[in-house]
A and B are shown apart, each in its own frame.
Chain A
Amino acid sequence: MKQRQDITYVYDGSYEGMLTCVFRCYEDKFIPAQVLVQPSLLPYSRIFTDKSKAARVTRGVARTMGRMAENVIRTVYLADNEQKEMAVIRFVVYGMAAGEHACRDLAHPDVAEVYELFRAVNREKRMCMERLKFSVIGDVLVSVVAPTHNVLPLIAPHFVQRFPNEDIFIYDKAHKLGLTYSHGRTQITQIENFEPAEADEDEETYRRLWKIFFDTVEIKERHNPRCQKNHMPGRYSNFWSA
């Protein structure tokens, strides 16, 4: 499919919206120059989210390219990256022609591009799963994080599996999203602002104990703050407590 440099798509930023953009490429029989969420000053075509078109894309991808491709697209949608829609469009256009081989054609530029985003989101998911810390506030496990991709939907199953009988609230202040888990129900909602309540005495005690452990477990003769910092980048320092 040819790319037209003079065409820009603008959509609402939703997952179905992104898939509607993919559908539109097949209707138009070309690939746009860029896909935006905010309207630009230059001329653009507005793509109105259409659930049935999105569902057709999902079905087509699953049937022709396989479940793995569908998973890649779902994950890449969560990336904070302005190129993600174009990466998905190119991946689907190539894959719908190539069939289920596409996901194994890792050296193809269009596949490599989408996989790079896929891995970046998964890396951030992993980082968030490792560095997050809870505070116990009013018997709720509370955490505030600021990941570089929208990873809340990806980390939710892990925490639910680990703490099935707890109430959990994780606030992603970068995306202004809150993950709530209570009585077996998980929910992610838009929340403009969240400030956790003060730590009580019990919470302070365990933070203090953790600090003692953390400082003592270091072997002073092996002191290597640079190595530590490489594993714990600054943007995760705010993960330490709510």
Chain B
Amino acid sequence: MTTEEKLKILTDGAKYDAACTSSGVERSACAGGIGSANSGGICHAFSADGRCISLLKILMSNACCYDCAYCVNRVSNDVPRATFTPEEIATLTINLYRRYYIEGLFLSSGVLGSADNTAQLMIKALEILRVKYRFCGYIHAKAIPGTSPQLLQRLGELADRMSSNIELPSSRSLKLLAPDKERRDVLAPMGFIRDKKAEGNKNFVRAGQSTQMIIGATPESDLNIITLAQGLYRTYGLKRVFFSAYIPVAENSLLPALDSKPPLLREHRLYQADWLMRFYDFKAEELLDESRPYFNEFLDPKCNWAVNHPEVFPVDVNRASYKTLLRVPGVGVVSARRIMVARRQRRLDAAALARLGVVMKRAKYFIDGAAGIKLRAADDPAAVTRELIRGENARQLSLFDDMPAGVRAIEGKGGENK
């Protein structure tokens, strides 16, 4: 099989992994070596689905012995199979890296015989890169559930980021759709990496770990999902939890029909909520509750929270705390910081806020002293909601191109996530 054919098969099998981030490490090329890492991450291109391409995202092999119903690489699926040699992976990575097409390598794999066998091949590929080529670029390696601790340890020394995918938002769904995987096998590598990092070895999984779950294949609510994400951030100190809208890859009575569309808007709302939890100090239970377990289709989670909490507004931007500023729709992490700095020099009016990058179109309903604004969230939340929805509809025409997470190599604004 030619390299071209292999690359096609093994990219095709890897593309459903949402993680393509290359941030979290700052490093120059080592002596006699090639490659550096940029703490903010770098997107080198965007594929025709609008997702960022930062890393060469490929599988070691798609010859998987597991039979997970939601996965394109399951053993019972009739697709061409291929396996890269470690040398092929290293050569391909270096040559694409030299041309500045990529920030590094994202190496995942189907389970080739056993988890340990697969991990050994991956380690071989990464060792060629790190030792022979003295490659100092970014490497993201997948932790295959069931891999033994010694091999995880070695992978973690070679990679900057590791991830093990939780796959589905509940153990019940996982048991139903992935008969070969147990929730605890998925969580074991996560716990191992967390504990090893806690021992203080700075060079072990330097950029931390992430995970991913499929959205819309199984019946969990948005509330279930963000609560789980919050738990994962807290318990395992994850850098990212990725959501991936389910794309039907199999005819199965337990799964959505083959002709169903991926729930992209739902995925988008979950990413917005994830952003709010990581950078805006929101808790999952503030965003949704049992009486309202799904996000508003028409309004982003922050605006939705704001119109439901008129008692918080209007906010006095000249006095409010940083945390309160972050709660104002139209104020982001960057503009909130600028407000904190600039208001010490002078009183901020509406024109000043616009100069600082505040989106006044949304913020004006929620702040004190926006000149000429009669409508206020505190007085008439319903009318403000209507206005905000009108604005949101206009934004959505651009098909989520303001999507903050999941599609960008950058994980946080203003270095919050370094």
Contacts and interface: CB of A to CB of B under 8 A. Distances in A.
Contact-residue size bin, chain B (C-beta under 8 Å from the other chain): 35 or more
B298 interface: no
A141 B3 CA distance: 23
Contacts of A226: 50, 398-399, 401
Interface string B178-202: 0000000000000000000000000
A135 B19 CA distance: 27
Interface in B42-60: 42-53, 56-58
Interface stretch (A18-26, A50-58, A74-82, A160-168): A160-168
Contacts of B247: 219, 221-222
A132 B42 CA distance: 11
Contact of A141 (B52, B98, B343, B356): B98
Contacts of B44: 130-131, 133
Nearest to B32: A165
A231 B50 CA distance: 8
Contacts of B98: 134, 136, 141, 163, 166
A72 interface: no
A24 to B, nearest CB: 28
Contacts of A216: 7-8, 11-12, 15
Contact of B48 (A108, A166, A213, A228): A228
A220 B15 CA distance: 10
A130 B32 contact: no
B116 to A, nearest CB: 28
B36 interface: yes
A134 B44 CA distance: 12
A163 B29 contact: yes
B99 interface: yes
Interface residues of A, number: 49
A162 B36 contact: yes
A93 interface: no
B76 interface: no
A117 to B, nearest CB: 13
B49 A219 contact: yes
A164 B29 contact: yes
Given A107-B352, A161-B36, A212-B8, A101 B345 contact: yes
Interface in B263-303: 264
Given A136-B99, A206-B96, A213 B401 contact: no
A212 B398 contact: no
A221 B262 contact: yes
